[in-house]
Amino acid sequence: MRLDKVIEQNLQTTRKEMKRLFLMKKVLIDGMVELSPQRNVDSRLHEIQVDGQKLRTSHVYYLLNKPAGVVTAKKDEKFQTATQLVAEAERPADLYPVGRLDRDTTGLLLLTDNGQLGYDLLQPGAKVTKTYHVIVNEAVTIEDVAAFKAGIVFHGGVHCQPAQLNILSSKSGHSEVLLTIKEGKFHQVKKMFLACGKKVIKLTRLSMGPLALPEDLVEGTYRQLTLNELQQLKIYFR
């Protein structure tokens, strides 16, 4: 949460008082004077001390194993949404999915009500890697691996950054690969394979940055991030 919002919520400060707190260097994060009211903080990760008082935040962070058939839009007329898979009692009004997965894509989706973190994780400059398990309708070759490494160009001319393709199995009619990309273009994985004349049959996201899909997390279920997982996201709090 933005530091000025945390202070306002906890201490009911007026704008004038808020300005004074920062000017008088009364705002400390992890023991250091903080001058930016926009700084994104979470009291599970940062010690937030204002005028001698410790302040708390109450954000939620969930790892969801998204099933097929569910959309990552915040609202949808026709389909169930990812946030609706979270029990109502555990679902703040501003809970939202960080990034988008297609309706037929399964796997790891981070849900949070920390909008600033979600935004920062998706910035191209953050270079958050995503790894997918992909089933493809044809043999995937070492030429494809080289093409992904060089940077795929979509039909239509859009250039992708180099990506790492690892072949798990390959035969005509069915291949399984792991693909790691550092960007998040619309339908990126499907379009990358289409550019090689191949079709994605099944797509599952296994990881996003430091977060990995837990093997025991059944599709359609979610759990809170562990403290350790949250700590690994600390570098993305700006």
Cα gap 144→54, rounded to integer Å: 54
- Residue 203 in contact with ligand URA, rule: CB under 6 A: yes
Options 91, 174, 187, 202; binder of ligand URA; rule CB under 6 A = 187
What are φ and ψ of residue 81, in 5° steps? -105, 160
Residue among 89, 85, 116 at smallest CA distance from 5: 116
Options 2, 44, 190, 202; binder of ligand URA; rule CB under 6 A = 190
Tokens at residue 82, please?
């990812």
- Residue 134 in contact with ligand URA, rule: CB under 6 A: no
Strand 106-112, strand 200-208: pairing: parallel
Query: Tokens 């005028």 — which residue?
Result: 51
Residue among 99, 90, 92 at smallest CA distance from 118: 99
In the bound complex, what is the minimum distance in angstroms from residue 100's beta carbon to ligand URA?
A: 7
Q: Rank residues 101 and 230 by Cβ distance to ligand URA and give the closer one.
A: 101
Give the 3-state secondary structure of residue 16.
helix
> Residue 146: which H helix or E strand, with range?
helix 142-150
Give yes or no for a contact between 104 and 182, defined as CB atoms under 8 angstroms apart.
Answer: no
- DSSP 8-class letter at 67: P
Residue among 109, 107, 82, 87 at smallest CA distance from 218: 107
Contact code string over 71-110 relative to ligand URA, x by CB under 6 A: ------------------------------xx--x-----
Q: Rank residues 26 and 191 by Cβ distance to ligand URA and give the closer one.
A: 191
Tokens at residue 133, please?
């398990």
In the bound complex, what is the minimum distance in angstroms from residue 105's beta carbon to ligand URA?
A: 3
Proportion of the chain in helix, strand, coil states, percent, rounded to 5: 25, 30, 45
Q: Rank residues 18 and 108 by Cβ distance to ligand URA and give the closer one.
A: 108
Q: Specify whether 30 is catalytic.
A: no
Give the 3-state secondary structure of residue 15.
helix
Options 65, 83, 131, 188; binder of ligand URA; rule CB under 6 A = 188
- Residue 202 in contact with ligand URA, rule: CB under 6 A: no
| Active-site entry in 102, 113, 120, 216 | 102
In the bound complex, what is the minimum distance in angstroms from residue 102's beta carbon to ligand URA?
A: 4
- The region of 18-26, 116-124, 172-180, 182-190 touching ligand URA under the rule CB under 6 A is 182-190
In the bound complex, what is the minimum distance in angstroms from residue 61's beta carbon to ligand URA?
A: 21
Options 189, 208, 211, 230; binder of ligand URA; rule CB under 6 A = 189
Task: List contacts with ligand URA (CB under 6 A).
Answer: 101-102, 105, 187-190, 203
Residues carrying an active site annotation: 102
